[in-house]
Amino acid sequence: MSVIDNIYSKDVAMNNSLTVKNFPSIKVLNTRFHKLTVQELINYIVEVSKLDKKTTIAHLNVRGMNFAYQLPWYRNFINNADLVFCDGFGVLLGAKILGYQIEPRHRMTCPDYIESLAVACEQHNVSIFLLAGKPGVTDKAINKLLAIAPNLRIAGHHGHFDKEGPENELVIEKINKFKPDILYIGFGMPLQERWIIDNFKKIDTHVFLPLGACLDFYTGFVYRGPRWLTDCGFEWLTRLLTEPTRLWERYILGNPLFFYRVLKQRITQGVTENRSGNFT
């Protein structure tokens, strides 16, 4: 583990002792996430954005689980985040295979709730900075969000910049000048998490919120698929069909690999009772 990883882990560990809410934890393949609903997530984000400390809110899907299995620093990031929510039906299924009691309402994905979050932030005078996507994505997202939350304090910058060196420092300077309560980072896994670790000390924000390609889907730059598919756990199929060259390895190899590992854990450890205890 690098020096910056150690610094990050110590800061987040301190924040964990100050967490304002506690949600049941679920542990799959030595990686944990919390069992909560989308409204509880929104309430938590707004609440911790008012605290004088830095809070990291992470999310997990099958791809994130595979990264956590392969990359110790990534698993460390997830396991030390203040709150981790489930962003994939595959992860729910994996948890069920291991004996946890969990329901579809405990899975949430950003495009479904970003407007509700914006309205809640407007009501509580919480500011947001969007850092994601190709040039033009954040501008369109800001316009859409202001249409439903006109008094929201929001700014943004595209995510296509050098993640180190002078250009990175200029972006951080822009963020710090705005001083957002919430910094949304959407570079995709695991780049966004690595960027947070590398720049954690430099950035003046209360909440780090890495959310992947949320803004691409929300603005229509990337086709997400029909609602009847996305609500039933088959969003991955639409994405695979629309971008097979780029995504075949992620889904054709990644999904079966995840379930193989989960089944192996179940067979090795066995499940004698439903699990609902906190992660330690």
Condensed to tens digits (0 to 9), the pLDDT of residues 90-120 reads 999 999 999 999 999 999 988 889 999 999 9
How does strand 83-86 pair with strand 55-60? parallel
Which of 249, 222, 29, 276 lies closest to 110 in space, CA to CA?
222
DSSP state of 33: E
Please name the residues in contact with 201: beta carbons below 8 A apart, sequence gap of 6 or more. 7
The number of angstroms, rounded, from the C-alpha of 192 to the middle of its chain's C-alpha atoms is 9
Q: Give the pLDDT score at 17.
A: 40
Condensed to tens digits (0 to 9), the pLDDT of residues 34-44 reads 999 999 999 99
Q: Look-up: residue for tokens 């202001």?
A: 146
> Higher confidence at residue 47 or residue 18?
47
Residue 48 has pLDDT above 60, yes or no: yes
Alpha-carbon distances of 63 from 38, 154, 267, rounded to whole Å: 21, 30, 22
Q: How many CB atoms lie within 10 A of CB 1?
A: 10
Please name the residues in contact with 227: beta carbons below 8 A apart, sequence gap of 6 or more. none
Q: Edge-to-edge strand order for the sheet containing 154-157?
A: 83-86, 55-60, 207-210, 182-186, 128-132, 154-157
Which run of H or of E encompasses 92?
helix 89-97
pLDDT band (50, 70, 90) for residue 15: very low
Q: Give the pLDDT score at 269.
A: 81
Q: Look-up: residue for tokens 């690999």?
A: 257
Residue 261 has pLDDT above 60, yes or no: yes
